[in-house]
Chains A and B, each alone.
Chain A
Amino acid sequence: MSNPSITVVVPDKKLPGDLAMWFFILAELTVFAIFFIGFSVSEQLNAEMFSLGKAQLHQTAGLINTIALITSSFFVALALTKIHKAQAKQSVLLLLIAKAFAIIYISVKIWEYLSLFEQGITIETNTFFTLYFLITAFHLMHVLLGMVILSFIAHSAWQGKYQNNEFSGFEAGTSYWHMVDLLWIILFPLIYVI
């Protein structure tokens, strides 16, 4: 009696996008980790100043921005599933929706900055606001760069450049955008909640 041979097909584990982009993302995450740890240490050294500073921030604005970035990331994830199904036009539409939510984030962030400036608060006010403006503005720059990348992949998708299982450029762009979201979910409780 011989057993019939059984072939089990195990799908290949594949890293989405380009390897270079993942190293770039790791480098960015490391820089932000230093910022986050530096912020926490400074708060421990200046507890009262940080407590007063946090009380002057607009928590609801922080929550709106969190929802905007998470929703934007969600639409980017959906855009990726559409491009995998060769539905380029739908993918572009989803990327445009994702960018609309990113614009909400940018608008709220600018409104927050202007509100603080009106109260006479600037980057030089104290250590808390120096770190607040430095970290959030650095993150905002990444959001802006992410929007440029999303525009680029949307344009390429519209021109039909992602076909025949060649999605690495698209995947690299979406991975970068999710990194921006990943950073915000640490930044948000650190500055607005705890």
Chain B
Amino acid sequence: MQNNKAINMAAATKSWFLLITLSVIAIYLPAFVDNRSLTIIGALVIVVLKGQQIVDIFMELNNAPKLWRTLFLSYIILVPLIITIIYLV
């Protein structure tokens, strides 16, 4: 039990580093990518990656019933996907 909790803390710390790194990449994306469509796709892919970390690690839905995890992961994929379609179509 003690070991599992230690793993959770390590996972949360790794997740925090990843989330911060992805946020910094996102803000500088327009400076490095000239193409607006690619910037939009890149920024929204980053949203999906960050969302998965929050849902699975911070909210601990990776240990929840499959339906709830699927619902939240669907949200974090569908909303950016709809936004991407609106911007690119």
Q: CB of A155 within 8 A of chain B?
A: no
Of A104-112, A113-121, A137-145, A183-191, the segment with at least 4 beta carbons within 8 Å of chain B is: A183-191
Grouping DSSP codes into helix (H, G, I), strand (E, B) and loop, the A interface class, with mixed when no group exceeds half, is helix
Q: How many residues of B contact A (CB 8 A)?
A: 46
Q: Of B44, B75, B86, which contacts A189 at CB under 8 A?
A: B44
Q: CB of A178 within 8 A of chain B?
A: yes
Grouping DSSP codes into helix (H, G, I), strand (E, B) and loop, the B interface class, with mixed when no group exceeds half, is helix
Q: Of A33, A37, A63, A76, which contacts B24 at CB under 8 A?
A: A63
Task: Say how far A167's CB is from chain B's closest CB, in angstroms.
Answer: 11
Task: Say how far B39's CB is from chain A's closest CB, in angstroms.
Answer: 6
Q: Which residues of A contact B9 (CB under 8 A)?
A: 78, 81
Q: Which residues of B contact A41 (CB under 8 A)?
A: 86
The reply to whether A185 and B50 form a contact with Cβ atoms under 8 Å apart is yes
Of A1-9, A66-74, A146-154, the segment with at least 4 beta carbons within 8 Å of chain B is: A66-74
Q: CB of A53 within 8 A of chain B?
A: no
Docked complex Cα distance between A11 and B63 (Å): 9
The reply to whether B58 and A73 form a contact with Cβ atoms under 8 Å apart is yes
Listed from nearest, the 4 A-B pairs whose CB atoms lie closest are A74-B16, A189-B43, A40-B86, A77-B12
